[in-house]
Amino acid sequence: MTFNSHAETFAGQTVVEYPSDKPGGTAWRVAYRDDDDHQDELSEEFRAAFEEFVADRGATVEALVIGAWGYAAFRPAPLQQLCDSAPRLPRLRSLFVGDIPFHECEISWMKVGDVSPLITAFPELETLQVRGGEDFGFSPVGSDSLRRLVVQSGGLPASFTTAVLASRFPALTDLELWLGTDEYGGDTTIADLRPLLDGKLFPRLRRLGLRNAENADEIAAAVAQAPVVARLESLDLSMGTLGDQGAAALLAGQPLTHLQELNLAHHYMSEEVAAAVVAALPEVQVDVSDPQEEDEGERYTEVSE
């Protein structure tokens, strides 16, 4: 996937670039883009723009999108500024950090940091979506409010994954992890995911995405036997390298007929096997779009660098 445009919607709201005279009911986007690749501090221009936004809209904003904070491959994300501003953002419920398309900065170059303090700083936060690569971290944390966590990466470290799974999120219904490739730091294994797959975590989880995985066939085989699947409404294994072997494991495993959605888009299944998956689940919305072809025996995730 090439992130060639900014998010148009977030948390069910239209994204509007600040400043704007648009009325409330929007997801505000704050960003400042520069091309200075010799700075390793937060852009003062971004800092000033965000301070202006908080002073102007902070009391009412419910959904916030953070775009470029300068050149994100060198400048650190404004996590501390966000946390420090929490008392002036009392109604914030949905936050997306890293809405940066590829032409501004490749996903695996983005310098973000440990994003878990955002959850502590905003105890009423319901949705957190983060995108990053370099210096991308998470620490175990707890929240009674968080319902949706989306982590987008070209290579998700095992330390990030295990910290998420060590966190206390009793209200979490949606979890989406982009696992990525080993080349870009994606060393999360099936063993790391085992507590999640065994259904021991997040009792309200109904939508699970293990996306963009280099080992998608292995993940599919594990998911086919995973107790957590029985309580899911939506299962998303898209954007990875899923082939006939992984699809066969899904078909031979536990029933998936209770699902509302099964997303397998961007895959390496043959046409016949993809059709067999769709035919086996006539009452399920199955997405087998965007078939890929191997390149000299190699398969590629949709997002890496």
pLDDT > 60? residue 1: no
pLDDT value, residue 23: 66
* Average pLDDT for 69-92: 88
Q: Which residue has the higher pLDDT, 295 or 246?
A: 246
Its pTM stands at 0.95
∠121-126-132 over CA atoms, to 5°? 70
∠269-246-272 over CA atoms, to 5°? 30
Say how far apart CA 41 and CA 89 lie, in whole Å: 24
Residue 39 pLDDT grade (very low, low, confident, very high; cuts 50, 70, 90): low
The total of other beta-carbon atoms located within 10 Å of residue 259's CB is: 17
Q: What percent of the chain has pLDDT over 70?
A: 94
Say how far apart CA 290 and CA 250 lie, in whole Å: 19
Q: Each residue of 192-234: pLDDT tens digit?
A: 999 999 999 999 999 999 999 999 999 999 999 999 999 999 9
Q: Each residue of 40-80: pLDDT tens digit?
A: 666 788 899 999 999 999 999 999 999 988 776 667 889 99
Q: Which residue has the higher pLDDT, 209 or 304?
A: 209
Q: Is residue 290 left, alpha or beta, with left meaning phi > 0 and alpha meaning psi from -120 to 50?
A: left
Which residues are bridge partners to 78 per DSSP? none
Q: Taking Cα atoms as reference points, which of 52, 207, 196, 55 lies closest to residue 127?
A: 207
pLDDT value, residue 2: 44
Q: 141 with 116: CB under 8 angstroms?
A: yes
The average confidence (pLDDT) of the chain is: 92
Query: How far apart, in Å, are the Cα atoms of 283 and each of 257, 262, 279?
Result: 7, 11, 9
Q: Each residue of 253-265: pLDDT tens digit?
A: 999 999 999 999 9
Query: How far apart, in Å, are the Cα atoms of 228 and each of 42, 68, 106, 177?
Result: 41, 36, 33, 15
Q: Taking Cα atoms as reference points, which of 195, 202, 148, 154 lies closest to residue 178?
A: 154
Counted residue by residue, the chain has a size of: 305
The total of other beta-carbon atoms located within 10 Å of residue 301's CB is: 26
Q: 1 with 106: CB under 8 angstroms?
A: no
Asked if omega into 78 is within 30° of 0 (cis), the reply is no
Give me 2's structure tokens: 């090439």
Q: 76 with 40: CB under 8 angstroms?
A: yes
Q: Taking Cα atoms as reference points, which of 234, 238, 228 lies closest to residue 198?
A: 228
pLDDT value, residue 269: 98
∠302-303-305 over CA atoms, to 5°? 140
pLDDT value, residue 241: 98
pLDDT > 90? residue 26: no
Q: 165 with 195: CB under 8 angstroms?
A: yes
pLDDT > 60? residue 3: no
pLDDT > 70? residue 5: yes
The total of other beta-carbon atoms located within 10 Å of residue 122's CB is: 24
Q: 112 with 98: CB under 8 angstroms?
A: yes
Q: Each residue of 142-191: pLDDT tens digit?
A: 999 999 999 999 999 999 999 999 999 999 999 999 999 888 888 999 99
Q: Which residue has the higher pLDDT, 244 or 22?
A: 244
Specify the range with the lowest mean pLDDT, choosing from 61-75, 234-248, 278-292: 61-75
